């Protein structure tokens, strides 16, 4: 049956089931209507109430019908998703297949689907029962159809009409494959035909006898037709033959009885029974033949097994099982005894191989320990051939070339050492005799042979240079002593001169300071100039020279300043009259501050402050500059070697204190010192980034405050 016909049948079944269900509904509804619908005699009010009830009932039924249609649509979707999932799985797209199956489960879990699934299960069972019933009916029908040609085939086989019997058995097989022993006879008949061909002479004789017998039977028939009494005698003979299980002869006798006297006694009964008896007799014979054949095969199989011919034994036992698939002895041999015996033989063979491999391996180890590597390698290979990966054979086969190479390297090293030792003696002899060029040549030759020779390196890199230096020192020491004496004399003379000059300059410096304090700027300026010529950079001479020059400029501009003071105090007035001059002065101060010329910058900012208080960031710079000068002086100071180094923790605390006091310049310098001592100490890097930002924000704030 084709797939389309099957689908058509299932559709017809579904239509039948649904039509039956609809009929049941209609019948029930008609009964309910007959019971529930009131007669025309019912009151109008009651009729309206009943109508309302019916409307509710019909609404529910309509709802159920719609839900049924929806669920049927969902069922189709479920089947589509499932079919898609199977297709995707076959194509190897597992994730997509899983998603399709999850959709199936999701639809099935819907509340509406529960009742529909129950109904669908009932429908499926009903369809299955109908299919089973149809199949049983078909099987019964086929068995009935096959029974008649099967009996005919048996008769023909018994009569040795093999070709006709074969055709009948083929017809049986076409009607119903594997019916009773049809396949057995289809296999057996060709063999019987071969035997029949071999006995052509016997068949010819039998045919002659048959013709004679037929003539006799004909005569008997003639006699029996005339003499009814003979039927009783024949019937007795037939019964006797039947009891003796000579069914063919009995069948013929009963046939004669039938011919002489149709339906005589139980002749027809025996004629019906005899084919079955013949079949059972044939089956017994076949069983006996099969048993003999199995016994013969069993003897052969056990003989093969005992002689360890396992492939032949297996095929023989498998042939036995093909004849009798429940033959336990054959199963035992195939499933247990043969595999176990093979394992034992393999184990014995393995043990033998292990013994041989162990013996060869032991010899190889002895040779390896004696450093007879070539002979050992051959034996390790032999052990590995006997038993692959035996013990550590593969390891030694890999190791031996390395050992040979190592031995060659050791020999080279030994030879090299002897040569370097000889050269070393010569080189040391040259060194001891202060023949440094020859010593260097010898040591360099050693390093060309062995570039890691530490002793030769030591002589070349340290001892020879040191000894040369010592000799040079000894040679120059005398010259140095002479020079030192001369130098000491000169230094003494210089010190005396410097002492005199220092006393003179010191006195001039004190006098200049006094004059400066007394506001005698010109006289002080002249003295500081004289000090600068005698001893440059003496104390703060350069500072005072700059300061005095600024003060002198101020004195010159005093008259102008008085005029400025008389002008209006507002920033607008100042900017109109002095805006450009103040802006220029402030710009000069900023430039000096950026060049770290803090003294002059401070004076400039002071001047701006006098002219216009709180001008831009002047107040901020006036506070910052003293701290910057102090930091600059600390940076310039060179610490003595004996001065103990301040620990980073102490410097860090000082830096933090300065930062909290908003002395950003000095704090920045301290954090730099901390970082130089210990990189990434605590939050040093954070403050070094933060301080420039704080200075910038401070400047901006002061600008905002100073802006009118």
From the first residue on, what is the mean pLDDT of each consecutive set of 10 residues in the chain (708 residues)? 44 50 46 46 80 88 84 86 90 90 86 78 80 78 79 85 87 82 86 78 72 76 60 80 84 80 75 81 76 86 89 88 85 88 81 79 85 84 76 79 80 80 88 88 86 85 87 83 86 80 77 77 79 83 83 58 46 50 84 80 86 78 76 52 62 88 81 84 86 70 51
pTM of this structure? 0.24
Q: Reduced to 3 states, what is the DSSP secondary structure of residue 618?
A: helix
DSSP code string of 259-284: HHSTT-TTHHHHHHHHHHHHHHHHHH
Q: CB atoms < 10 A from the CB of 244, how many?
A: 10
Q: Which of 380, 378, 349, 344 is nearest to 362 (CA)?
A: 380
Note whether 303 and 316 are within 8 A (CB).
no
Q: 417: exposed, middle or buried (C-beta count within 10 Å: 0-12, 13-18, 19+)?
A: middle
**Nearest CA to 602 among 611, 612, 591, 593?**
593
Residues 6+ apart with CB under 8 A from 392: none
Q: What is the pLDDT of residue 553?
A: 61
Q: Name the token pair of 132.
A: 């089973």
CA dist 639 and 652 (Å) reads: 19
Domain ranges of the chain: 13-110, 640-708
pLDDT at residue 230, rounded to an integer: 64
678 φ, ψ (degrees, to nearest 5): -135, 100
**Nearest 5 degrees, angle CA 551-CA 553-CA 555?**
70
Neighbours of 142 (CB within 10 A): 15
CB atoms within 10 A of CB 686: 10
Q: Considering only CA atoms, which of 609, 627, 631 is closest in space to residue 619?
A: 609
Predicted pLDDT of residue 273: 85
What's the length of the chain? 708
User: Rounded distance, CA 354 to CA 656, Å?
Assistant: 81
Q: Report yes or no: 185 and 286 within 8 Å, Cβ to Cβ.
A: no
Q: What DSSP string describes 494-535?
A: HHHHHHHHHHHHHHHHHHHHHHHHTT-HHHHHHHHHHHHHHS
Q: How many CB atoms lie under 10 A from the CB of residue 74?
A: 16
Euclidean distance between CA atoms 260 and 218, whole angstroms = 11
CB burial class (10 A; 0-12, 13-18, 19+) of residue 586? buried
CA contacts within 13 A on the Cβ side of 281: 16
| Structure tokens, 455 | 């002793």
Q: Quick one: three-class SS letters along 421-490?
A: HHHHHHHHHHHHCCCHHHHHHHHHHHHHHCCCCHHHHHHHHHHHHHHHHHHHHHHHHHHHHHHHHHHHHH
pLDDT at 595: 78
Which residue's structure tokens are 């950003």?
664
Q: Is the separation of the CB atoms in 441 and 409 below 8 Å?
A: no
Give the pLDDT confidence score for residue 31 in this predicted structure: 47
* pLDDT confidence of residue 38: 46
117 backbone dihedrals φ, ψ, rounded to 5°: -60, -40
Please give the pLDDT value at position 98.
92
- Asked if 611 and 582 touch (Cβ cutoff 8 Å), the reply is yes
Please say whether the beta carbons of 612 and 571 come within 8 A: yes
Predicted local distance difference test score (pLDDT) of residue 635? 54
> Taking the chain, what is the end-to-end CA distance rounded to the nearest angstrom?
108
Cα distances from 117 to residues 124, 434, 541, in angstroms, run 10, 113, 112
Is CATH 1.25.40 what the domain over 640-708 is classified as, yes or no? Answer: yes
């Amino acid at each position: 049956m084709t797939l389309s016909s099957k689908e058509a049948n299932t559709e017809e079944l579904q239509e039948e089931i649904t039509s039956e269900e609809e009929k049941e509904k209609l019948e029930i509804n008609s009964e309910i209507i007959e019971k529930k619908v009131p007669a025309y005699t019912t009151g109008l009010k009651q009729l309206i109430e009943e109508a309302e009830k019916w409307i509710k009932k019909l609404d529910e039924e309509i709802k159920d019908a719609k839900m049924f249609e929806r669920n049927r649509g969902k069922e189709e979707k479920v089947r589509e998703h499932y079919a898609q999932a199977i297709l995707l799985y076959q194509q190897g797209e597992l994730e997509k297949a899983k998603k399709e199956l999850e959709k199936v489960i999701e639809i099935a879990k819907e509340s509406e689907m529960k009742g529909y699934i129950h109904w669908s299960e009932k429908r499926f069972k009903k369809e299955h029962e109908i299919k089973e019933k149809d199949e049983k009916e078909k099987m019964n029908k086929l068995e009935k159809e096959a029974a008649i040609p099967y009996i005919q085939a048996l008769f023909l086989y018994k009569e040795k009409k093999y070709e006709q019997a074969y055709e009948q058995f083929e017809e049986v097989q076409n009607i119903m494959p594997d019916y009773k022993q049809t396949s057995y006879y289809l296999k057996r008949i060709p063999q019987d035909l071969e035997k029949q061909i071999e006995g052509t002479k016997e068949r010819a004789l039998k045919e002659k006898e048959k013709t004679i017998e037929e003539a006799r039977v004909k005569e008997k028939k003639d006699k029996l037709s005339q003499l009814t009494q003979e039927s009783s005698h024949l019937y007795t003979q037939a019964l006797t033959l039947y009891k003796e299980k000579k069914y063919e002869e009995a069948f013929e006798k009963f046939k004669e009885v039938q011919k002489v006297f149709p339906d005589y006694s139980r002749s027809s009964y025996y004629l019906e029974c005899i084919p079955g008896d013949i079949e059972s007799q044939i089956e017994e014979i076949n069983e006996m033949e099969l048993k003999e054949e199995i016994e013969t095969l069993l003897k052969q199989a056990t003989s093969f097994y005992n002689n360890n011919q396992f492939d032949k034994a297996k095929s023989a036992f498998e042939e036995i099982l093909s004849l009798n698939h429940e033959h336990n002895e054959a199963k035992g041999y195939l499933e247990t005894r043969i595999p176990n015996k093979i394992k034992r033989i393999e184990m014995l063979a393995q043990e033998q191989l292990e013994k041989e491999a162990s013996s060869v391996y032991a010899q190889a180890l002895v040779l390896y320990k004696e450093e007879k590597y070539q002979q050992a390698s051959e034996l390790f290979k032999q052990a590995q051939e006997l038993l692959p990966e035996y013990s550590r054979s593969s390891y030694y086969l890999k190791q031996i070339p390395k050992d040979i190479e190592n031995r060659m390297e050791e020999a080279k090293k030994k030879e090299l050492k002897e040569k370097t030792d000889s050269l070393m003696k010569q080189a040391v002899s040259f060194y001891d005799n202060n023949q440094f060029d020859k010593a260097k040549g010898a040591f360099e030759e050693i390093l060309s042979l062995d570039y890691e020779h530490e002793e030769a390196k030591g002589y070349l890199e340290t001892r020879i240079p040191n000894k040369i230096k010592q000799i040079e020192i000894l040679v120059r020491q005398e010259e140095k002593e002479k020079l030192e004496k001369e130098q000491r004399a000169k230094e003494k003379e210089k010190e005396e001169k410097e002492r005199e000059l220092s006393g003179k300059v010191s006195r001039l410096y004190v006098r200049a300071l006094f004059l400066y304090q007394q506001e005698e700027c010109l006289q002080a300026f002249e003295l500081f100039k004289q000090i600068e010529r005698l001893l440059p950079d003496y104390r703060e001479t350069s500072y005072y020279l700059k300061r005095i020059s600024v003060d002198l400029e101020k004195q010159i501009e005093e008259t102008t300043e008085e005029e400025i003071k008389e002008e209006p105090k507002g920033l607008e007035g100042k900017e109109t009259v002095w805006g450009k001059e103040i802006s220029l002065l402030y710009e000069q101060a900023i430039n000096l501050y950026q060049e770290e010329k803090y003294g002059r910058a401070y004076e400039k900012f002071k001047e701006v402050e006098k002219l216009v208080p709180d001008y831009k960031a002047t107040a901020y710079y006036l506070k910052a500059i003293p701290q910057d000068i102090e930091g600059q002086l600390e940076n310039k100071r060179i610490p003595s070697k004996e001065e103990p180094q301040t620990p980073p923790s102490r410097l860090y605390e000082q830096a933090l204190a300065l930062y909290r006091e908003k002395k950003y310049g000095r704090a920045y310098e301290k954090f730099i010192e901390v970082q130089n001592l210990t990189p990434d100490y605590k939050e040093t890097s954070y403050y070094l980034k933060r301080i420039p930002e704080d200075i910038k924000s401070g400047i901006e704030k002061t600008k905002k405050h100073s802006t009118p």
